[in-house]
């Protein structure tokens, strides 16, 4: 849940990037970190293995400055996508205000996407939150990969809840900020 | 609305009590720094070395460590680990859970005895537990705190800042 500190006039929100392994969650944060102005961002912290796979999480604090007298901060996290780290994902998801689900558009990844989304629903529910009310934005990543599944197919299997969804190419930045804007606004609307 | 989705609003007077409690803990233990975190890793209050620039990252990592230990506890069929101790060559970190919602973290060096930290932290977590209880009971309307035009202003800021 978001935290509003009235004395310090601060608002903190936590957004988690979730999805199957190698889907582009870390790339999303890396692109945002590279593009956002220096004043608005903190260090990008990554706890990764020697081969650059996320082991625990990536963390990027964004400071939106003062809005109506309140210093507003968004903290972006990624989870490790590999199946092995299911319990670690539960840990990172703790207290999240919203989730970006980064799906991999490649055909052979469809099943991984579905499994990961199901797991997300279970993990959100375990936190005593109603999954259907929880702020989620979908991103269909890797749209540039030859043979990427059509958006209609991905919608059919992944977007059964009618979430806002964006097509993305995380490595070049396509759709990254549209996704971030959408989830930020959704989270703010629930404050 | 789902209570878990509403924000936790910490009012000015409660923040003052929290800061007083953290300052007392530093004074009594001789610790270097004390942090109070929300379980999601957000820093609610911090007291100690004025020049720490890494508080935000510390908050995220400590909350991550705690959340991870909770999963370990579950696998061991333990309810949760309420305290964690990390020992370094110069600095140590002692972490205690407050009512499943907040995390108290004390950073101290070899000049401070761990036993003293444990005992005084127990007292501080009891005091902070009652603050948390009051914060939970509050049902202050969001608009009273943020103002009704907050959302529109926020959306404008998001559009302005989050772009290529």
Asked if B64's CB is within 8 angstroms of A36's CB, the reply is: no
For the segment A107-133, the average pLDDT, to the nearest whole number, is 96
Contacts of A56 in chain B (CB under 8 A): 64, 68
Residue A132, pLDDT score:
95
Q: Which residue has the higher pLDDT, A2 or B128?
A: B128
For A48-101, the pLDDT digits (tens) are 887 788 888 999 999 999 888 889 999 999 999 988 888 889 989 999 999 999
**ipTM above 0.95 for this complex:** no
Q: What is the pLDDT of residues B52-77, one digit of tens each?
A: 778 888 999 999 888 888 888 988 99
Q: What is the CATH number of the domain that holds B90?
A: 3.30.450.30
| Tokens, residue B120 | 């005084």
Q: What is the pLDDT of residue A158?
A: 98
Residue-range definition of the domain harbouring residue B98: 3-161
pLDDT of residue B147: 75
**Interchain CB contact of B86 with A (< 8 Å):** no
Contacts (Cβ under 8 Å, ≥6 apart) of B163: A35, A177
The number of domains in chain B is 1
Residue A80: the pLDDT is: 93
Which DSSP string corresponds to chain B? Answer: --GGGSPEEE-HHHHHHHHHHHHHHHHHH--SEEEEEETTS-EEEEEE-TT---HHHHHHHHHHHHHHHHHHHHHTT-S---EEEEE-SSEEEEEEEETTTEEEEEEEETTS-HHHHHHHHHHHHHHHHHHHHHHHH----HHHHH-TTHHHHHHHHHHHHS--
Half-sphere exposure of B85 (CA within 13 A, CB side): 9
Instruction: Give me the pLDDT at residue B101, please.
Output: 87
Burial class for A38, CB neighbours closer than 10 Å (0-12, 13-18, 19+): exposed
For residue B3, pLDDT over 50 is answered with: no
Query: pLDDT tier at B40 (50, 70, 90 boundaries)?
Result: confident
Dump strand ranges (E) for chain A: 3-5, 10-18, 45-48, 54-67, 70-78, 98-104, 136-141, 164-167
Q: Which residues of A touch B76 (CB under 8 A)?
A: none
- Contact state of B4 with A1 under an 8 Å Cβ cutoff: yes
| Cβ separation B162–A87 shorter than 8 A | no
The mean pLDDT of chain A is 93
- Chosen for mutation from B10, B17, B41 (greatest number of chain A CBs closer than 10 Å) is B41
pLDDT tens, position by position, B101-157: 899 999 999 999 999 999 999 999 999 999 999 888 876 666 677 777 888 899 999
Considering only CB atoms, A3 lies closest to which of B44, B67, B158, namely B44
pLDDT at residue A6 above 90?
A: no
Structure tokens at A82: 């590999």
* Interface check A82 vs B, CB under 8 A: no
Please determine, for residue B5, whether its predicted confidence score (pLDDT) is greater than 50.
Answer: no
Q: Specify the pLDDT at position B6.
A: 59
Position A11 pLDDT exceeds 80: yes
**Among the listed residues A185, A173, A150, the one whose alpha carbon sits nearest the alpha carbon of residue A15:** A185
| pLDDT above 60 (res B2) | no
Q: Which of A112, A180, A107, A115 is closest to A146 using CA atoms?
A: A107
B68–A56 CB contact, under 8 Å:
yes
| Domain parsing of chain A, residue ranges | 3-189
Bridge pairing between strands A98-104 and A136-141: parallel
What is the pLDDT at residue A121? 97
Contact B40 A3 (CB under 8 A): yes
Helix (H) or strand (E) run with residue A115 in it: helix A110-126
CATH fold for domain A3-189:
Rossmann fold (3.40.50)
Distance CA B130, CA B148 (A): 30
Query: How far are the Cα atoms of A18, B85, B145, B163 from residue B26, in angstroms, in the given order?
Result: 38, 17, 31, 43
Please indicate if any CB of chain A lies within 8 Å of the CB of B153.
yes
The pTM of the full predicted model, rounded to 2 decimals, is 0.88
A183 touches chain B (CB under 8 A): no
Give every CB contact of residue A3 below 8 A, 6+ residues apart in sequence.
Answer: A10, A11, A12, B7, B8, B10, B38, B40, B42, B44
CB contact under 8 A, A91 and B15: no
pLDDT of residue B126: 94
CB–CB of A191 and B146 under 8 A?
yes
Q: Tell whether A65 is within 8 A of chain B (Cβ).
A: yes
Contacts of A137 in chain B (CB under 8 A): none
**Mean pLDDT, to the nearest integer, of B14-43?**
93
**Which two structure tokens, joined as six digits, stand for A178?**
């549209």
Q: Judge: A36–B161 Cβ closer than 8 Å, yes or no.
A: yes
Q: How many whole angstroms from its chain centre is CA A58?
A: 11
Whether A189 and chain B come into contact, CB under 8 Å, resolves to yes
- Given a cut of 80, whether residue B4 has pLDDT beyond it is no
């Amino acid at each position: 849940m978001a935290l509003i500190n009235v004395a310090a006039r601060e608002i903190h929100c936590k957004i988690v990037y979730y999805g199957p392994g190698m889907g582009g969650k870390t790339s999303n944060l890396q692109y945002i970190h590279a593009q956002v102005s220096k004043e608005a961002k903190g260090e990008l912290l990554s706890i990764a293995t020697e081969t650059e796979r996320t082991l625990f999480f990536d963390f990027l604090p964004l400071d939106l400055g003062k809005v109506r007298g309140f210093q507003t901060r968004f903290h972006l996290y990624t989870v490790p996508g590999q199946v092995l780290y299911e319990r670690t994902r539960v840990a990172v998801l703790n207290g999240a205000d919203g989730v970006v689900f980064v799906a991999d558009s490649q055909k052979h990844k469809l099943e991984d996407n579905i499994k990961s989304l199901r797991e997300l629903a279970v993990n959100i529910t375990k936190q005593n939150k109603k999954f259907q009310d929880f702020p989620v934005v979908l991103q269909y990543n890797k749209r540039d990969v030859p043979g990427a599944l059509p958006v209609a197919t991905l919608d059919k299997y992944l977007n059964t809840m009618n979430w806002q969804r964006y097509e993305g190419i995380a490595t070049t930045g396509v759709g990254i900020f549209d996704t971030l804007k959408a989830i930020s606004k959704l989270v703010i609307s629930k404050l | 609305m789902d209570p878990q989705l509403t924000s936790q609003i910490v009012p000015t007077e409660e923040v003052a009590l929290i800061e007083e409690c953290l300052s007392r803990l530093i004074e009594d233990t001789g610790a270097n720094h004390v942090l109070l975190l929300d379980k999601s890793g957000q820093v609610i209050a911090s007291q100690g070395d004025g020049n720490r620039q890494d508080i935000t990252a510390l908050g995220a990592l400590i909350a991550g460590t705690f959340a991870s230990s909770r999963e370990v506890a579950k696998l061991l069929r333990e309810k949760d680990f309420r305290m964690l101790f990390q020992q370094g060559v110069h600095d140590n970190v002692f972490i205690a859970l407050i009512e499943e919602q907040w995390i108290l973290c004390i950073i101290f060096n070899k000049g401070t005895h761990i036993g003293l930290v444990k005992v005084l932290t127990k007292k501080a977590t009891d005091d902070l537990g009652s603050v948390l209880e009051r914060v939970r009971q509050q049902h202050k309307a969001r608009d009273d705190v943020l103002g009704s035009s907050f959302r529109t202003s926020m959306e404008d800021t998001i559009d302005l800042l989050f772009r290529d």
